[in-house]
């Protein structure tokens, strides 16, 4: 078996007692203490995540915008500092990945999912044939750190000084300088983005500086309740926030409209890969839709459980967990439109026993105060 890849923060995870697992070919911490404690810290104070396993790809050159317009379902961001969520689709409308694309001063940065990075890079290069564009994978020479939770601004302000953070809106990014007493400053990129349902920042730093920044963030964050967090609570947090996960809610067999991601599809912008297939889905009507469900009892419906409506199997679950915030078993599934209305009674096969559930609105959880509005 091939050796697992390691992020620049691997030694810090081991030193902190991280419980390590294989995730997308990387040796990553699933938790340090308990998943519930880490989850609660993000909801009430702050959590620190290593997300360096996610791919970071830069596009530059005269035809970079042309290539991105062909690849992305959404409009390519043109204003410097704008971050936009979009999808990469095959010609048949199947989703290859969901990505964040940032317009920087002279080029674009795209963040892709770790497991999909090789496929995405091949896809980019295939469709760049004949175009004057450079595609550079910066995953190995950078690290990416997320600080998520109500106290995130107070913590990140110690390494990215105000007033930048006060003016950095949601889904915005900016170059910044990390000032270190007695040492040379480090150029970084900070964005107000995240995958937890809370306010948060994601910082891209040179790989050689990552461990120092991680320790500084932990030190300044401790009085604010910050704790290091693993992949386990990242999953429960995103599920509470109703955010889809590639390989679960999103696959090559799923189109963006059925996944409830029509906001990230700009059919009117012109041609892009998958446009005709997605337009046909809109014209013909959805055959299945992504919904949230809440179990009536305490049993948790995990991935790929059969969903029944009126005693007939109508779909499959894609994710499920016990929600630490809500104290309920929740999940997401694909069902036909006639079983998707809020309040629809369902049954889910949990290890051979049909358990009652009901369709509920997404997201399951939404923070009460918004520090920045979505553009």
Topology of domain 10-54+140-240, CATH = Gyrase A; domain 2 (3.30.1360)
Topology of domain 55-137, CATH = Alpha-Beta Plaits (3.30.70)
Domain regions of the chain by residue span: 10-54+140-240, 55-137, 287-360
Q: Which residues pair with 317 in a beta bridge?
A: 333
Residue 375 pLDDT more than 50? no
Dump pLDDT digits (tens) for 53-63. Answer: 999 999 999 99
CA distance linking residue 281 with residue 344, whole number of Å: 24
Topology of domain 287-360, CATH = Elongation Factor Tu (Ef-tu); domain 3 (2.40.30)
Q: What mean pLDDT comes out for the span 166-175?
A: 92
CA distance linking residue 212 with residue 218, whole number of Å: 10
Q: Which residues pair with 275 in a beta bridge?
A: none
Residue 210 pLDDT more than 60? yes
- Cα 305-242-367 angle, rounded to 5 deg: 145
Distance of CA 179 to the CA centre of its chain: 29
Nearest to 152 by CA among 227, 47, 62: 47
Do 59 and 108 touch, CB atoms closer than 8 A?
Answer: yes
First-to-last CA distance in the chain?
Answer: 45
Say what the pLDDT of residue 163 is.
65
Say what the pLDDT of residue 180 is.
87
Say what the pLDDT of residue 82 is.
98
Residue 372 pLDDT more than 50? no
Say what the pLDDT of residue 160 is.
86
Residue with tokens 């107070």: 154
Cis peptide bond prior to 363, omega within 30° of 0: yes
Do 321 and 232 touch, CB atoms closer than 8 A?
Answer: no
CA distance linking residue 60 with residue 108, whole number of Å: 7
Residue with tokens 């889809």: 244
Do 222 and 73 touch, CB atoms closer than 8 A?
Answer: no
Confidence of residue 68 (pLDDT cuts 50, 70, 90): very high
- Cα 63-96-22 angle, rounded to 5 deg: 115
Least confident of 208-222, 244-258, 358-372: 358-372
Do 261 and 69 touch, CB atoms closer than 8 A?
Answer: no
Say what the pLDDT of residue 167 is.
85
Percent of the chain residues topping a pLDDT of 90:
93
């Amino acid at each position: 078996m091939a050796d697992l890849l390691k992020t620049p923060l691997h030694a810090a995870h081991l030193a902190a007692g991280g419980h390590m697992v294989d995730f997308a070919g990387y040796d990553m911490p699933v938790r340090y203490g308990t998943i519930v404690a880490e989850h609660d810290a993000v909801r009430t104070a702050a959590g620190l995540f290593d997300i360096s396993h996610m791919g970071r790809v830069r596009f530059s050159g005269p035809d970079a915008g042309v290539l991105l317009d062909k690849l992305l379902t959404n409009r390519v961001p043109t204003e410097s500092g704008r971050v936009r969520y979009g999808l990469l689709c095959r010609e048949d409308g199947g989703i290859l990945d969901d990505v964040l694309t940032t317009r920087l001063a002279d080029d674009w940065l795209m963040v892709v999912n770790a497991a999909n990075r090789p496929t995405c890079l091949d896809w980019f290069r295939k469709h760049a044939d004949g175009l004057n564009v450079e595609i550079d994978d910066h995953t190995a020479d950078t690290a990416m750190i997320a600080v998520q939770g109500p106290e995130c601004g107070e913590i990140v302000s110690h390494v990215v000084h105000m007033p930048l953070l006060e003016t950095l809106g949601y889904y915005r990014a900016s170059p910044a300088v990390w000032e270190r007493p007695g040492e040379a400053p480090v150029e970084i990129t900070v964005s107000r983005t995240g995958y937890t349902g809370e306010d948060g920042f994601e910082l891209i730093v040179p790989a050689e500086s990552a461990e120092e920044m991680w320790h500084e963030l932990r030190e300044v964050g401790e009085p604010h309740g910050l704790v290091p967090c693993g992949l386990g609570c990242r999953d429960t947090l995103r599920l509470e926030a109703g955010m889809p996960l590639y390989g679960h809610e999103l696959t090559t067999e799923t189109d963006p409209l059925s996944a409830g991601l029509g906001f990230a599809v700009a059919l009117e912008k012109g041609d892009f890969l998958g446009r005709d297939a997605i337009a046909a889905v809109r014209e013909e009507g959805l055959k299945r839709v992504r919904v949230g469900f809440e179990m009536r009892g305490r049993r948790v419906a995990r991935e790929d459980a059969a969903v029944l409506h009126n005693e007939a199997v109508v779909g499959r679950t894609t994710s499920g967990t016990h929600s630490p915030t809500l104290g309920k078993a929740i999940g997401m599934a694909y069902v036909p439109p006639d079983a998707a209305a809020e309040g629809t009674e369902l049954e889910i096969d949990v290890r051979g026993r049909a358990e009652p559930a009901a369709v509920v609105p997404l997201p399951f959880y939404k923070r009460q105060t918004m520090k920045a509005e979505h553009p």
